[in-house]
Structure 1
Amino acid sequence: MSASVVDVWGQVVPGARSSFPPAPEPHDEWRLAGGTAWVYFSPLNRRQLIRPVILSDGFSSGSSSLDQLWHGLEENGDFRFVSELHAIGRDVIILGYDDRTASITANADTAIECIRRAIAERVGRARLTVGGFSMGGLVTRYALAKMEQDPTLPDHETSTYLSYDTPHQGAWFPIALQAFTHYATDKWGETPGVGPVLRQFSGLLNSPAARQMARWHIEKADDTPEQASERMAFLRELDELGGWPRNVRKIGVANGVDTGTGNGIKAGTTAVKCDGDTLHDTWLKTQAQGDQEVARLQKTGEEATSVRTSELPDIDGAPGGLFTVPSPAGDTGSFGLAGLLMGILGNTVDPGITGTSCFIPSISATAAGDINDQKALYRPISPDHSALDAFTCASRNEGHTTMTQELGEWIVNEIAATD
């Protein structure tokens, strides 16, 4: 599987890929309040900012890494996205953040500053293209809408908004995985070695950005899954701004298929289980409809904790961008991550499934329906379902934010058509 543009989980797993080859020196670097913009001029523009394309980073741990972003955009082995944008005369501005777990609205202020700086530095009057990957698409969507509605802000002078596997209708963090992570952190969060890993992952899931993105969230293992208050507040704010920027053409892509064909993971099956020194008869299941015991968690020598859900869809197997995590053995999935953590805690792990779960359903990335709707998740997507003006989906369900020729070329063609 190709490297993701956005390494969603950062250095959660010990020994995971932690470094990338150095990116080329940017032609300019803008230090912004809350982030940094790295500017790469098109060779056609003779080191002048003439036709800016702003590409925003998304959700992960810590601050943005230019090396990591450049690798995903340009060196992933499938499609050289920056080079192809340069070939049509576009200057690329890669926008990163000091804290990728900060709220979407906070990082949107950084995006607004970047847009204003691009307008100020631009030679000529060419309008901008602005968008982002994963949560970066939500950050820039909010930023552009705010610039249209806030009379104290200038015109964003943008013609095209783009999103790349963005959770417009929410992201899916498996409830069983959330519960196990919070449970393990509560029991072993202060244990040397594994404790910091558990606290980091639990903190990521409970961060402002994760609470705003997740369609269902739990703060503790025994909580009832629901939309977090932070998500509800963000959606209200976005709605007050009109929901979308209105004076732009809105395009997007999904790393999942539009045919309604799922990724092959069956609902209600045991995804991973373990037994050993620290955990007894502990298991996680894939999400199913109806009332379900989705996880059984038991520290050896203590009473078991049962995690139940009801009225959730069969979303682990839904079509969409897949949940991938860097690990020493290569990219693993959501339940594979749980297995790694179980093993680190000193237990014998029996993985029940291969593959990985859906992370950003196709209908979320294309803004084409409620991911709480079982039928909508698995129906073919047509243009009249979508809030976007144009979109395309991958020909297979692939890793979230994976840059492919199929999707990258479509975006480049769409941007070129604005000439």
Structure 2
Amino acid sequence: MATRGAARIDVVRALRQESEPVPAGRAEEVARVLPREVLFAAPPAPGPARPADREWALGAAWSHQGRTATGTAAVHYGAGHDRLVKPMIIADGFNHGPSDLAGLWNQLDAPYPPHQQRLLTQLLAQGIDVVLLGFGARHTHIQANAGVAASCVRRAIGERAGNAPLIVGGLGVGGLITRYALAEMESRGEDHQTETYLSYDTPHNGAWIPLILQQLAYFAQSLVPAGQADLISSPMAQQVLWAWVESGRYSGPVATASLLRVEFLEDLRRVGWFPVRPRKLGVANGAADGTGRNIPPDEPVFEWSALGGLAGASVRTQPEGGQDRLVGGMRALPMWASRSYTSQVPSFDGAPGGTLAAYGTVADGLGTPIESKYRSACFVPSVSSVALQFDPLEWPVDLYTDITALSPEHSQLDDYHCDAQNSEHGKVTAPLAEWILDQLGK
């Protein structure tokens, strides 16, 4: 089946032919049992948000491959301010469609234990002006949205009273967008006047969504075209995910399946990899001591069956490396039946890192039960969010590295902090919030 070497996936089609006539009404039957939402897209955090003091409509400082992105910023003045004095730009992250800045506020200002304090409220109390940066299409090319981030930096400089340096960063992929924007501005000789760069659980070296779940999204979309794979197939996902597939029937390499990721990494190197001038800080929702989640490799996650077995899917956790290891299969007879096998792919699911309810999202969409421990798997490994020095295509690194035992030069950040335990990607917790407040208060 597969040849030894680079990480890959191989799909075996279980039907001798898929061209026989489809019984009348079968497609409609299948449509009724498949999910219709964009899979892996997170809903906005609920609740009323603090009204913004100002809103900026933003164009991009540059285009990318003929695409000019747009965005919006919600400006919240710090305590005692009636204008920008000490701006902190926080860019939105991994998701589909336009940003919901109210939802972003609610996510980052959610009360955290043990004292139910709120991060953004505390930043405002410190006299920091919070500028939440959203994008017209979060899922487009990182370089394109970086042009919007650069415009936001320029606007903040232009409207700032005084000369306090900026703090610029982002949540998840928002940290990659602002990282690229600041580095690009430096490469053009532009003064971004940013003293501190801050990334929040950013996939500096890549993120992970199980390959079998990616294929299930394509499977659903091919049978019921309702955008189920729109996020997983988007330019941003292709640029960020370490392992990616282009369809439910794709066989081949996964770390270099998309040229968009290869080209994005080349563009990052062209502009300097990281911005040079700012102090580079980062926090990770994953644990630092190498402790992962209780998700063993190569175990069944769920088995779904509908229409008397005519439609169904089996899903397993990602095995650890190996050759031609079964990760699952799917069927909608007589249109589709396949099994998927991976080779040389690490067992990302249980690794230390910020988590995403990837398995739970798909199981819920199919209406099938799933054991609670399997609902969430690693999305941004700790070794990625603290930007350890390793090849982001080859990943020659132990996912369970004890980061606490490493010397500072192993990271490309100047300083970082990990959560006490593996928490949900982008969640504000006391260890991370307190470290950020301490660092920005220096």
What is the TM-score when the length of structure 2 is the normalising length?
0.82
> Which residue of structure 1 lines up, in the alignment, with residue 219 of structure 2?
183
Q: 2:164 aligns with which of 118, 121, 126?
A: 126
Query: Letter of the aligned partner of 1:410 in structure 2?
Result: W
- CA change 1:137–1:87 in 2 (3 A) is same
1:146 pairs with 2:184: yes
Q: What is the alpha-carbon distance in structure 1 between the residues aligned to residue 224 and residue 92 of structure 2? A: 32
Other-structure match for 2:240 = 213
Equivalent residue, structure 1, for 2:283: 253
Equivalent position of 1:414 in the other structure: 439
In the alignment, structure 1 segments of 5+ residues that lack a partner are: 1-9, 190-195, 324-332
AA partner of residue 376 (structure 1): D
User: What are the residue-to-residue correspondences of 1:12-161 with 2, within 5 Å?
Assistant: 12=38, 20-33=46-59, 34-44=70-80, 46-78=81-113, 79-151=117-189, 154-161=190-197
Distance across 2 between alignment mates of 1:18 and 1:322: 17
Which residue, out of 293, 303, 306, partners 1:276?
A: 306
Decide which structure has the larger Cα Rg and report it: 2
Greater Cα shift, 271-280 or 285-294: 271-280
Letter of the structure 1 residue corresponding to residue 210 of structure 2: P
Paired with 1:141 and 1:373, the residues of 2 have a C-alpha distance of 21
Q: Which runs of 5+ in 2 are unaligned?
A: 1-35, 60-69
Contact 2:38–2:229 under 8 Å retained in 1: no
- Which residue matches 1:290? 322
SS of the residue corresponding to residue 376 of structure 1 reads coil
Tell me the C-alpha RMSD between the 2 structures.
2.2
Q: Cα 1:355–1:374, aligned 2, differ >3 Å: closer, same or farther?
A: farther
Tell me, yes or no, if structure 1 residue 360 matches structure 2 residue 396. no
* Residue number in structure 1 paired with 2:343: 310
- TM-superposed deviation, 1:24: 2.2
Q: Aligned-pair distance for 1:367?
A: 0.6
The range that moved more, 157-166 or 290-299, is: 290-299
The residue number in structure 1 matching 2:426 is 401
Is 1:172 equivalent to 2:208 in the alignment?
A: yes
Alpha-carbon distance in 1 for matches of 2:166, 2:37: 34
Q: Which of 283, 292, 295 matches 1:262?
A: 292
Do the aligned partners of 1:271 and 1:352 also contact (CA within 8 Å) in 2? no
Residue correspondences, number:
382
* Structure 2 residue identity aligned to 1:380: D
Give the TM-score of the pair, scaled to structure 1: 0.86
- Aligned residue identity for 1:124: G
CA distance in 2, matches of 1:279, 1:105: 44
8 A Cα contact 1:133 1:165, kept in partner: yes
Counterpart CA distance in 2 for 1:134 and 1:391 is 15
CA distance, structure 1, for counterparts of residue 391 and residue 273 of structure 2: 15
Per the alignment, in what secondary structure is the counterpart of residue 75 of structure 2?
A: strand
Determine what percentage of the aligned residue pairs are the same residue: 38
2:361 alignment counterpart: 337
Q: CA deviation at 1:97?
A: 0.7
Residue identity in the other structure for 2:398: A
CA shift digits 1:173-211 (9 cap, x unpaired): 11010011111221233xxxxxx2xx2x30110011111
CA distance in 2: counterparts of 1:245 and 1:367, whole angstroms? 14
